[in-house]
Chains A and B, each alone.
Chain A
Amino acid sequence: MIESIQKMFAIVANEGHGSVWTVLLIGFLFGAIILYSRLDKFEKMAGFMIFEDTLVPRMAMTTVALSSLGFYFLTQAGYATFHVKPVILGGLIIGGILFGIGLVILGKCPSAFFVSVSEGRVDALVGVIGGMFGGLVFTLAYPWINEFTGPNLGKLRVVDFFEGHSLLIVIIFSTVLLVTAYLLPTIEYKDPADFKEK
């Protein structure tokens, strides 16, 4: 196992997507922001889907709105390239359904797992272990699963349908998200466990 961990670092070091330290730093900041905004809490993620809290959609919309503008200008200036995932319709829909069920029950997404574990949440650790088995079964069953996840519709983007109006589409998209995020009511589930006197 130690060998494969060393191999993991070696792959990252040779791959040209930032040095190992850059990747660790990106992860560190990602985890720090998730924890500081309390995105890792069950009450925020599951709470949003049972209408007890609106932090998650508002923060996600702000992030996507600002990032879509930033990504547009970064790629225009030649400092980045788009990495779009393909639309593999069957896999996307079945996967989305399973993911949605898991999300509302566990109340964390696959990166917030780790943040929750680092905060001492045993249920999140059990979720990670479950996830490890999920990864195992998927890897073993992949040759079989791969048969029926299609059709692959390609790496589509919204702007592909509006040739020549990319900037306008990005601005409209971003504005709609920002305005929606702003207009959503503030519902906050205050977790008594967070406000205990120390």
Chain B
Amino acid sequence: MPKQIPWWVGGIFMSLLFYFSFSSFGANRPIGASTGMAYLSTILFGLDSQNHIYVEEIEKSGAWEGVMLIGVFFGGLFMSIFVTKTFHISYIPTLWKERKNKSIKSRMIWSFIAGFLLVFGARLACGCNAGHILSGGSQLAISGIIFVIVALGTGVITGRFFYKKKVCKK
């Protein structure tokens, strides 16, 4: 088995999965992930729908995405153990070492902050990569298109200042 599939194969498989999820043969709704993240956090911290209006608001789609995320975890685990065989405990991505630093502490602190911003930002915008860019874009939603421009634009600008300049390889 190859260790990686090329972008176009990945894109074709992904859209087949989207057809299934979107149509009434599957789940009759598009895929999304960040509502599920917020929902899981309300489970973890024991927030209930009686006292928190947001929990009540996201209950249905949050539960769906929460269950889906459990599936996502096992899908990744299955592939990384049996197919790509890349499962190993690691702390810092290679590119981070190259462009930022080699400190585990720094990577962990930034990961926490970034994770916080991702879910908080995604909830503020009502969606993330999956919900806005992939599912939203596929439905030609204006909200998805605005989100792509703002999120990727900010990402590129932040990346420019946050990381060191590219080292020329000889």
- Identify the A interface with B (CB < 8 A): 1, 4-5, 7-9, 11-12, 15-18, 20, 22-43, 46-47, 49-52, 55, 58-68, 70-71, 74, 79-89, 91-107, 109-124, 126-140, 142-143, 145, 149, 153, 155-159, 169-170, 173, 181, 189, 191-194, 198
Q: Could you list 22 examples of A-B contacts with CB < 8 Å?
A: A16-B28, A23-B67, A27-B70, A28-B72, A36-B84, A64-B137, A68-B139, A70-B15, A82-B139, A91-B124, A92-B147, A96-B125, A100-B155, A103-B155, A105-B114, A109-B118, A110-B36, A110-B119, A135-B42, A138-B54, A158-B141, A181-B11
Given A88-B143, A189-B95, 18 other A-B residues pairs in contact with their CB atoms under 8 A: A31-B74, A36-B4, A62-B11, A67-B22, A67-B134, A70-B138, A92-B147, A95-B121, A107-B93, A121-B93, A122-B91, A126-B115, A130-B118, A133-B41, A133-B115, A134-B118, A134-B119, A139-B41
By a CB distance below 8 angstroms, the chain A residues around B39 are 8, 135
Are A31 and B71 CB-contacts (below 8 A) given A49-B155, A109-B130, A149-B124?
Answer: yes
Hey, which bits of chain B sit against chain A, CB under 8 A? Answer: 3-5, 7-15, 17-31, 33-34, 36-48, 52-55, 59-60, 63-64, 66-80, 83-96, 99, 107-108, 110-147, 149-156, 158-160, 162-163, 166
CA distance A11 to B61 in the complex (A): 9
In this complex, what residue of B is CB-closest to A94? Answer: B124
The binding surface of chain B is classed by DSSP as: helix
B116-A130 in contact (CB<8A): yes
Contacting A18 at CB < 8 Å: which of B27, B48, B134, B137?
B27
- Which of A33, A94, A170 lies at the interface centre, i.e. has the most chain B CB atoms within 10 A of its CB? A33
Is B123 touching A27 in the complex (CB atoms < 8 A)? no
Taking the closest CB of chain A, its distance from the CB of B92, in whole angstroms, is: 7
> What residues of A have a CB within 8 angstroms of the CB of B34 in the complex?
110
- Known: A59-B7, A134-B115. Contact between A1 and B46, CB under 8 A? yes
Residue on B with the closest CB to A51?
B166
The 4 closest A-B pairs by CB, nearest first: A27-B71, A62-B11, A31-B75, A95-B125
Given A28-B72, A110-B37, A123-B91, A138-B64 contact (CB < 8 Å): no
Given A92-B150, A120-B87, A130-B113, A41–B93 Cβ distance below 8 Å? yes
B41 touches which one: A5, A99, A136 (CB < 8 A)?
A: A136
Contact present for A96 and B47 (CB under 8 Å): no
Q: Kindly state the separation between the CA atoms of A15 and B11 in the bound complex, as whole angstroms.
A: 29
A84 adjacent to B115 (CB under 8 Å):
no
